[in-house]
Structure 1
Amino acid sequence: MKNKKQNIILIILVILLVTGPLIFVQSGHFGGSDDKGTEQIKKNDPSYKVWAHPLWTPPSGEIETLLFTLQGSLGTGIIAYIFGYARGKNKSQREAEQLAEEETSNHVSD
């Protein structure tokens, strides 16, 4: 019952995190940190010339968003795998220790 209540709370929080920005951002324009950084640099030094350029520019904004999302998803998957592997390894190690303790207690009682 505790897990069910916890899962419901987590689902509600995820829904709020996803829908919150859509509700509270009125302009409909989501600017990235790159845009803000470029604006600030141009404001502080109008003569600044860009010295780094992308190797490849996606043909459309949708493809750029898709690639950005895929990159984030891949990174999240790798991090989740590492955490899951570490947790499984710890659980396996604890079970092995418990089994060893049970065997030593069985040998002592025999």
Structure 2
Amino acid sequence: MDHRLQTMVEEANRSTLDNIKDWMSQNKLKSVGMVWLSGVASSLAYNWSRPHMKTSVKIMHARVHSQALTLGALLAAAGVEYYGRVHSSKDDNHMTTGQIKD
């Protein structure tokens, strides 16, 4: 019973940022898709407020802006994946060397 209580306390103490990082590391493609969708929507909303542009130009700008955001999101997802692998391999090496010494 103590273990469950300790787990509940640890989960309650986790910050929102930790929860977001965990969700993003488990759902990389969904997060990239959400960034793309929000980029298209916000760029279209911004461009539609500019009356001097043609509709085709507004759509083209929205596509270009969302592509840039998507590339940034893909780079961020790759960085998270690399960071996770590097730190998990360091943890594995630390645990194995600790086990050998014991």
TM-score, with structure 1 as normaliser: 0.43
Return the structure number with greater helix share: 2
Bigger RCO of structures 1 and 2 (CA < 8 A, at least 6 apart): 2
TM-score, with structure 2 as normaliser: 0.46
